[in-house]
Structure 1
Amino acid sequence: MADALERIRGKAEQVDVALLRNGLSPRLDGIDGSHVHLLAGLADELPPLVVHRSTMRVVDGLHRLAAARTRGQRQVPVVYFDGTSEEAFVLAVRLNATHGKALRVKDRAAAVRRILDTYPDWSDRWIASVCGVAPRTVAKARQDSADTGQRLGTRIGRDGRRHPLSVEEGRRTAEQIMREEPSASLREVARRAGVSVGTALDVRRRMLGGEPELVSHTAGAARPVAAQRVAADAGQLSVRRIRAQLGWLVQEPALRYTDQGRALLRLVSATLAFLEQSDSMEGVAPVHCRHSLDAVARACASGWLDFADQFGEEKTPSRSG
């Protein structure tokens, strides 16, 4: 679902209070009379209500509506939300959990259960961010409910993308897509398999290098410690193989004897030199620099992947005698 906040349409307009209905509030005990009395006595103009356009039910602002009726107002300012009733409830929870009168623990718990019933494939973190609870609270509620999302093998995260519940399943799917559709780009494979582009790249490297996949082909099986060590060794081996490919590229006249070709070779060489030393660099940066380094590293990785996608799925030619 697209960000619901972006579907609150238009400028505020005055609407007759008699046309507005209750029914979307996540507050189990309804309206708090003391809070209504407090709002009714405020001299400042209150923010507009958020209303589900198709049903005229209040998404956010029931206490403000009650305060307006207490003051005898015939109209109140309203902005509209366009979407389904289920989406409107999620928005109601999100708005009520972040401002105004705080939702109680039981209100949040009930909202978690209702959203789980409606959207079982949403991730624990996404639902937790909507309801203002910890992800472990959602996970516990999911275990206690008849969760069909548990059987789907994937969950939709806050980024709107579908992610596998296990890395192994995502890697197997990525490998299958690459074998069946060799022209698919890394980004397309990653999107469809529900894995990161980096994971898709690693799967491709193993396929091109003739290396066996290190994931278990038994659903739900955990990767043994020995396999983790093999994965680390294989990563170093891949770097050595890439170094050999770079040695071949350095001898290529189209690159070696042009300014742009030499610049490209220098960039590739510097990147590969970093890969060979990256493990020893982890503790170099102080804590206050790590966020910026993370952003820079990810941007560089994304740039290289965009560059690699220009060449399609063709294998790098091996050097012939």
Structure 2
Amino acid sequence: MKIDHEHVRVLAESEVEFPPILVHRATMRVVDGMHRVRAAMLRSRHTIAVQWFDGDEQRAFLLAVESNMRHGLPLSREERKNATLRILRSHPDWSDRSIAEMTGLNAKSVGEIRRRSTEASSESLARIGRDGRVRPSSAAAGRSAAAEVIKQNPTASLRDIARQAGISVGTARDVRQRLANGQEPIPAKARKEDPASSSLMAAGAKRTDVGAVPDLARRITLFDGLRRDPSIRLSESGRLVLHQLRTQLRSTEEWKRLAPTIPMHGRSAVADILSACADDLIGMARELRRIEESLAG
């Protein structure tokens, strides 16, 4: 953000006591309050009250954007677009609306930046909103998820299909009718407008064992149920569990995006680490099921 020297002068000439600035402790970078620092210098002050932030640099950047939107000088449109692009690169699974609320752009503009960004071209099947809910990233992804729900449970109600796939009841009805008529769940027009829908359909055609590939709709439903459970979301450990699961939900697609960027000489080591982590997660899942079965018995 550029320094507004007139604003600095007005602050310096005022008689108000400045609130603490926010500083990233690891880098000593001012996250919020650069104009107050300059104004204090004009007042010939040698010290200023500080509130420390101990998160990573990416979170410090997000906090700087949020702080500016709340009470700082308005960012220029170009600065907001640059901030949006940086957030899309680090958090491609965040929804357009959640990024728009953070940067001050509208959701449509964020969507346009997302489509133009080569960094975000490999999109995940799900997006995470500001409310913490995981939803399909596009109409095609939602329709594909609905088709999976119907295939697994043909008698499911339209409301249940819509809830599990993160789509409207009307869309769920259309998907069911298309499948009943032997049509693809994603209309031809939507496939042309959303290139990712072709890969979704191809993945669905190759899927012969539903248990072999975790179903997006089922994951969304399970996570949403946990997120609404007061015994989980209202405890510190429960919120940590939700955070870890939210990270896990998006990690597979994120690794698909990162894999091509890993140098050849490092891929074997990365693969070994991922395999070990996967083994640990499988072991933990088995232990949780064992505990549940022992309590039930």
TM-score (norm 2): 0.51
CA-based RMSD of the aligned residues comes to: 3.9
1:40 aligns with 2:8: no
Alpha-carbon offset, residue 214 of structure 1: 9.7
- Is the 2:143–2:172 Cα contact (8 Å) retained in structure 1? no
- Is the 1:168–1:216 Cα contact (8 Å) retained in structure 2? no
- Deviation string 1:296-321 (CA, Å, 9 cap, x unpaired) is xxxxxx9xxx9xxxxxxxxxxxxxxx
- Is the 2:84–2:103 Cα contact (8 Å) retained in structure 1? yes
Q: What is residue 269 of structure 1 aligned with on the other side?
A: none
Q: Which has the higher helix share?
A: 2
Alpha-carbon offset, residue 43 of structure 1: 0.7
- Deviation string 1:173-215 (CA, Å, 9 cap, x unpaired) is 3564687699xxxxx998875558x799989xx7xxxx94998
Pick from 77, 87, 95: which aligns with 1:115? 87
Matches within 5 A, 1:4-83: 27=1, 29=2, 31-83=3-55
- Deviation string 1:9-42 (CA, Å, 9 cap, x unpaired) is xxxxxxxxxxxxxxxxxx1x3x222221211111
User: Measured at CA, do residues 93 and 214 of structure 1 come closer, stay the same or move farther in structure 2, by a change above 3 Å?
Assistant: farther
Question: Distance between the aligned counterparts of 1:121 and 1:51, measured in 2?
Answer: 28
Letter in 2 for 1:217: P
Count, aligned residues: 189
Q: What is residue 5 of structure 1 aligned with on the other side?
A: none
SS at match of 1:163: strand
Letter in 2 for 1:92: A
Alpha-carbon offset, residue 143 of structure 1: 2.5
- Is the 1:50–1:79 Cα contact (8 Å) retained in structure 2? yes
User: Measured at CA, do residues 81 and 32 of structure 1 come closer, stay the same or move farther in structure 2, by a change above 3 Å?
Assistant: same
Pick from 74, 78, 83: which aligns with 1:102? 74
Structure 2's unaligned 5+ residue stretches are: 155-159, 192-224, 230-297
User: Measured at CA, do residues 68 and 213 of structure 1 come closer, stay the same or move farther in structure 2, by a change above 3 Å?
Assistant: farther
Question: Distance between the aligned counterparts of 2:33 and 2:185, measured in 1?
Answer: 52
- Is the 1:53–1:81 Cα contact (8 Å) retained in structure 2? yes
Question: Distance between the aligned counterparts of 1:220 and 1:77, measured in 2?
Answer: 60
User: Measured at CA, do residues 61 and 212 of structure 1 come closer, stay the same or move farther in structure 2, by a change above 3 Å?
Assistant: same
Percent identical: 41
Question: Distance between the aligned counterparts of 2:42 and 2:32, measured in 1?
Answer: 18
Question: Distance between the aligned counterparts of 2:89 and 2:28, measured in 1?
Answer: 24
Choose 1 or 2 for highest CA Rg: 1
Q: What is residue 130 of structure 2 aligned with on the other side?
A: 158
Q: Comparing 99-108 with 125-134, which one deviates more in the overlay?
A: 99-108
User: Measured at CA, do residues 124 and 66 of structure 1 come closer, stay the same or move farther in structure 2, by a change above 3 Å?
Assistant: same
Question: Distance between the aligned counterparts of 2:5 and 2:138, measured in 1?
Answer: 48
Alpha-carbon offset, residue 162 of structure 1: 2.4
Letter in 2 for 1:133: L
Pick from 84, 100, 114: which aligns with 1:128? 100
- Is the 2:93–2:123 Cα contact (8 Å) retained in structure 1? no
Q: What is residue 185 of structure 2 aligned with on the other side?
A: 217
- Deviation string 1:248-288 (CA, Å, 9 cap, x unpaired) is xxxxxxxxxxxxxxxxxxxxxxxxxxxxxxxxxxxxxxxxx
Alpha-carbon offset, residue 63 of structure 1: 0.5
Question: Distance between the aligned counterparts of 2:76 and 2:186, measured in 1?
Answer: 43
- Is the 2:8–2:36 Cα contact (8 Å) retained in structure 1? yes
Alpha-carbon offset, residue 72 of structure 1: 2.4
TM-score (norm 1): 0.47
- Deviation string 1:49-97 (CA, Å, 9 cap, x unpaired) is 1122332211110010111122222322222333221111111112112
Question: Distance between the aligned counterparts of 1:166 and 1:104, measured in 2?
Answer: 29
- Is the 2:8–2:38 Cα contact (8 Å) retained in structure 1? yes
SS at match of 2:48: strand
Q: Comparing 124-133 with 74-83, which one deviates more in the overlay?
A: 74-83
Alpha-carbon offset, residue 217 of structure 1: 3.0
Alpha-carbon offset, residue 149 of structure 1: 5.5
Matches within 5 A, 1:173-192: 173=145, 176=148
Structure 1's unaligned 5+ residue stretches are: 1-26, 183-187, 224-301, 307-321
Alpha-carbon offset, residue 111 of structure 1: 1.3
Letter in 1 for 2:96: D
SS at match of 1:59: strand
Alpha-carbon offset, residue 150 of structure 1: 5.2
Question: Distance between the aligned counterparts of 2:68 and 2:11, measured in 1?
Answer: 16
SS at match of 2:49: strand
SS at match of 1:58: strand
Pick from 50, 62, 67: which aligns with 1:90? 62
